Chains A and B, each alone.
Chain A
């Protein structure tokens, strides 16, 4: 492993993947200010030496450090890194079963886009559909799991960070 990571660039890529599992190629390139082709060369090398694994989802190849992440986590990560999908999931967390129109009121997307995202979530087994006669409702499939995952991989929230800072300062 040491030999593979001798090269500083490769080490940087590996670091960024371990800190941010589920990143795709262009995002890594953007963060490291590198050309995509360079990044691609190195990630292929890392995968070849089994340091990282590649998951394909939603049109992107996403990278994870080998052995650090379960399949479900990978699934959540790749999907829930996308802002709108996360927003929908967070809304669903507050409710039990919601209909399409209620989600539409709380998430700023067009109806067709919302349908598209919901279908994706269903496909990734994050959300399941409940039918009540003519009506269709959506709810989270594995609530506890998602909550655990969110706690572990929560996205940056300025106000929460601020609160955390002060919460730690105590006698």
Chain B
């Protein structure tokens, strides 16, 4: 009796220890239960509400600490990059913070994630100098001067076309009725707004549009996994809204298409099942996976578009080609994919793409090895448990 009571006590102790270890890990890694140190984020002198709100129309030069200030993460006032403020998350596994700086014609969003011993930082650079362009690069650290360009997304033009072959999408056989070439238009100065969701999570809105507000680009970014507007956004991506308002159709039966282009030195793979879908935080998405040997980024979009408050499917055409350029004596290949979104006709059209990076195993092992790694862990667990099981049975038989 004594021995069995002891065994029960030992078992309960071990169980309690395991639970005590597991529970914080579960909370921490889930992105919930983040604790913020360093107050509510004014310590570096950066503005609480973000200078975005005070500079809605005018531009402003120099650096801005407009990012995610409310939760005290990633402030950046002037040249102050106090690293102790940067570590705003108490959780010991993941620390991430975002810096945004920009002016009226560009925005630089830098995001750094630390996962135990490894660190990953990337930058999304948005410019409206020419056609609106979003460029994703990997940077060694938040303060790096240069990064490695991963891919660019260029929003080229809006076209009104006659769908001659009636296949619901724009082909080169269809005739163009009118077009809006975005490189020929100067968009308004980029504005920055900080806001919070109903459950207190901070997000930043970066916006620009054509002078007549016909075409707008709205970018949303978050500092942690956040749900709003019926979608979930992680800190490894930005959500973009393409909004087309009251396009002056010249034809009664014509349709609208948005032509974008993805350029990268790496491989582009279209995918029906995007990374976010696999993570269970999105559905009904498709996209392009842009991967080098060690890193993967993506450009994805919702399979549906909202036209005059009604949801419709989007027809997407992806045309890829590889080109070679010569840089010095070395030929370099780069791939371009033209992604054409064909929208139904309407007054207000809102479509939802995203660009971002895909989590990698420590940033060192290529993503393709993840399954092998998991398999090894699985096998080890099976072997260990088989040994324990057999051992216990054998021991019991012997006694």
Given a CB threshold of 8 Å, the question of whether A touches B is answered with: yes
A interface residues, Cβ below 8 angstroms from B: 31, 156, 158
Q: Which residues of A contact B396 (CB under 8 A)?
A: 156, 158
Q: Is B5 an interface residue, CB under 8 A from the partner? A: no
In chain B between 93 and 135, which residues have their CB closer than 8 angstroms to a CB of chain A?
A: none
Q: Which residues of B contact A158 (CB under 8 A)?
A: 393, 396-397
Interface readout for B357-397 with A: 1 if CB under 8 Å, 0 if not? 00000000000000000000000000000000000010011
Q: List 7 A-B contacts (CB under 8 A).
A: A31-B399, A156-B396, A156-B397, A156-B399, A158-B393, A158-B396, A158-B397
What DSSP secondary structure best describes chain A's contact surface? helix
Docked Cα-Cα span, A119 to B5, in Å, equals 45
Give the shortest distance, in Å, between B396 (CB) and chain A (any CB): 7
Nearest A-chain residue to B398, judged by Cβ: A156
Interface readout for B217-236 with A: 1 if CB under 8 Å, 0 if not? 00000000000000000000
Q: How many A-B residue pairs have CB under 8 A?
A: 7
Docked Cα-Cα span, A158 to B393, in Å, equals 8
Give the shortest distance, in Å, between A19 (CB) and chain B (any CB): 10
Docked Cα-Cα span, A24 to B396, in Å, equals 19
Q: Which residues of A contact B397 (CB under 8 A)?
A: 156, 158
Docked Cα-Cα span, A122 to B292, in Å, equals 82
B interface residues, Cβ below 8 angstroms from A: 393, 396-397, 399
Give the shortest distance, in Å, between B97 (CB) and chain A (any CB): 56
7 closest A-B pairs by beta carbon, nearest first, are: A156-B397, A158-B397, A158-B393, A156-B396, A156-B399, A158-B396, A31-B399
Nearest B-chain residue to A161, judged by Cβ: B396
Docked Cα-Cα span, A156 to B393, in Å, equals 11
Give the shortest distance, in Å, between B48 (CB) and chain A (any CB): 64
Q: Which residues of B contact A156 (CB under 8 A)?
A: 396-397, 399
Docked Cα-Cα span, A156 to B396, in Å, equals 8
Nearest A-chain residue to B394, judged by Cβ: A158
Docked Cα-Cα span, A156 to B399, in Å, equals 8
Give the shortest distance, in Å, between B370 (CB) and chain A (any CB): 40
Docked Cα-Cα span, A156 to B397, in Å, equals 6
Docked Cα-Cα span, A134 to B134, in Å, equals 103
Give the shortest distance, in Å, between B6 (CB) and chain A (any CB): 13
Docked Cα-Cα span, A156 to B395, in Å, equals 11
Nearest B-chain residue to A156, judged by Cβ: B397
Docked Cα-Cα span, A120 to B379, in Å, equals 50
Give the shortest distance, in Å, between B395 (CB) and chain A (any CB): 11
Q: Which residues of A contact B399 (CB under 8 A)?
A: 31, 156
Nearest B-chain residue to A155, judged by Cβ: B397
Docked Cα-Cα span, A31 to B399, in Å, equals 9
